[in-house]
Structure formats: C-alpha cells, structure tokens
Amino acid sequence: MFLCDENGKLLDIPDEEQIRFCCEHAGVSESHARFILAMEKGEITGDKIIEPEDGWELIGQRATADNSIVVRTTETHVVFRVKVIRWQGEENPVIDLEDAKIVKKPIDDQTIEDTKKELLNLRKYFRICKSCKKRTHAGYCWNDEAYCMSCASQELHIIW
C-alpha cells in the first residue's frame, strides 16, 4: 500500500515517505515495505535473492497474508506472489518470490482477499505446526512433518 495517483502509478515523492505510509497503513515491517517498494519500482525482481537477514525476520513471524503474499498488478492481470523460504547452506534462509496465482482483470477486492486466504491454506507454501498451531512457511518446517523448527527442536530434540 503506497501513495499513488488516480491511475495507480506511484507518486513521485521520497521513498522514505512511501515506506512510512506503507508501514502505518499496511502494518508491515520497514524492511518488508522497502522490499515491496523496490519491487513496485522495478528495481528488483522476485528472481533475486533477498538479504539473509530478511529470511530470519520472516521466520520469526506467524505467516499471514500481509507478510507472506505480495500482490502485483499488470495492465491485464493480478499476480499473487508468495514468499518462499529457501536455505543456502545450514544457516542462511533467503526469500524468493514465487508466482502462485495469476488472475485476469478485472478483479474485485473480495476476490483478492479470498485468493490470499486460499494461498495461505496451500500446503506447498504453508503449514500449521502440530505443536504450537502457528501457520509457518513450509521452508521453516521440519522435514515433511508439520512441526515448525522451533517446536521440532524443543519437542523432538532436533538440533539445527
């Protein structure tokens, strides 16, 4: 959520103002707002790797539509991209954006929200931990079991 003109184009104002607006109105972290703004401006694509710190930040959160799903619009479609945690080595979680669903325009706000809920329920991307019951990213779950890494460590004595 950024300040845009009536045609949906980003206003030509300093990035810091856009980021502050996004944090206040969308309830996302500053790093998340910076990432989304860079995507909207075309400065990065989902194919690039985000800094590992962002991976750790996402891991520490309950997975929600606001922090896990990015909605992009083109002239003809709405693209739903899911943040996917991938591991580079044992200690470096990185986030990739994966196109999860593409819907042809026009699309109303309710359909957008319903699609986000649908994506949150896809086991390919998210799991509900058997122990703590939090929705987590599949990349933060132990094996194919539905234990988040934290609970797997505490209850199953898995050492990471």
Domain boundary assignment for the chain: 1-44, 45-156
Closest CA to 48 of 15, 95, 81, 114: 95
User: Residues of the chain with pLDDT > 90: what percent?
Assistant: 15
How confident is the model at residue 52, as a pLDDT?
A: 38
User: Is 0.85 topped by the overall pTM?
Assistant: no
Closest CA to 94 of 126, 127, 46: 46
Q: Mean pLDDT in the chain?
A: 79
146-160 residue pLDDT tens: 788 888 888 888 776
**What residues are paired with 142 via a beta bridge?**
147
How confident is the model at residue 116, as a pLDDT?
A: 92
Closest CA to 154 of 136, 129, 137, 135: 129
pLDDT > 70? residue 58 = no
Rounded Cα–Cα distance for residues 35 and 38 (Å): 5
20-49 residue pLDDT tens: 887 787 676 777 677 677 767 766 444 444
Q: Give the confidence band of 1 by pLDDT, cuts at 50, 70, 90.
A: low
How confident is the model at residue 61, as a pLDDT?
A: 63
Q: Give the confidence band of 11 by pLDDT, cuts at 50, 70, 90.
A: confident
